[in-house]
Structure 1
Amino acid sequence: MIDESPMTGVRVPSCRLRCAATRPQISLIAPPRQQRRTSISFALLGPNQMTVLEAWAAFFRAAAENLDLFGLLGLGFGFATGLMPRRRLILLSSAACSACFSLHFFRLGSPTGMAMNLIGVVQCFLAAQFVTERGRPAWLDVVFAGTFLLATALTLMTWNGLPSVFAGVATLVSTAARLQGSPRTMRLLLISSGLGWAIHNVLVGSVCGLTCDCLGLISFTLALLREYGANRRLAASLA
């Protein structure tokens, strides 16, 4: 069929005219892929969007299998450690915390974390018994040096990537902390150790361990502030 174009008067096939008339409409229509993207973006902004509370609830449901009795007990001992008024009580509470978390990390499949905590138990008992503000016996330095080397060897033997790095460094800092006769210096070093354990627990997915580290950091900080306030009041009374 031959049609005449109304604009030029040229007689051309009708199919060509229909194609020319529909070209602007085709160019204005977005491709199907862009339409799908638009609908997805509006769905994310719609009423079905997950709130912050729902996201946290989903996280804890996913991590519920990592919550066990040993982790919960370690959490309690860890928080109590920072609030203990005397150095010996800090060490004994820390030993109980390390014993619980050694079993907790065993269940999580973190051999380095388990080994470091077992070393911590031994160090805490030795430091509580033999280290005082007046000093410590010479043989204890040799024993702690041996545990230092043992911690390094166990870190390499139970190597698990970045979790092993942070667990090993945190244990070495804890080793130095337990040799301190001053509770203030020991708390400062244990805060540094707690930061290393916090990163380790994030990497291995230990909710109890991470919560314990956060509570421990808070309790150690509160104890330091309490001691600082007491020293200021004492200095003011003597002035």
Structure 2
Amino acid sequence: MEHIELFFKSIFIDNMVFSVFLGMCSYLAVSKKVATAVGLGAAVIFVLAITVPLNWLLDQYLLQPGALKWLGAEYADYDLSFLSFIMFIATIATMVQLVEIIVEKFSPSLYNSLGIFLPLIAVNCAILGGSLFMQSREIATLGLATTYGIGSGIGWFIAILAIAAIREKIRYSNVPAPLRGLGITFIITGLMAIGFMSFGGMLTGGDEEVKTEEKTAVVEPVVKQEENKTEALADNTIKVIE
């Protein structure tokens, strides 16, 4: 259940584009054609699916304070968290180079269509954001990290595919001259973000139940304390009357 909840949250509720507006450069530049958007979106899914779990392993067993305790007790106090950014970026750059080699080998036409934006995945803030959010949200297991990486990639893929399909159709629309190009694209992106915000109520039932349980746990001792005070007061009153 936890995997499913995290998967759908990372796609819809915490969408990289519509929630935190990461990866907007590639999102706007490579979304003129659906075919190109599909290729870049698939590459982003692959990179996120590999780099997020790899960076989770680096974070858990190398970078966190005390993560080196598996090497021995003398290493338990080491803190390499200041290397997080450079280690994450190194992992991402390696995977992007692998993706670039594969795309150039098996789909030269897609490689030429993507142009400079394929190697620029290495500096795509959505890719680095996936690893940093994984770290900040303290995702507990490798499986959850993999789920989060795949879900975040699919969310970015859906976003760029949707805007590419709209931009292909909007060419034939009578858009006011001042809004043509990026203007109408930003407006559509904002409207799509509002639509994705509506998914925010899908998975809040569990949170409400937890809050209700917490309130009950706090209120019950207070009620019991008041009942005890009332009983003691009643006993004292009876003794005075007697």
TM range (shorter): 0.3 to 0.5
TM value normalised by structure 2: 0.32
Structure whose CA Rg is larger: 1
Q: Which has the higher contact order (CA 8 A, sep 6+)?
A: 2
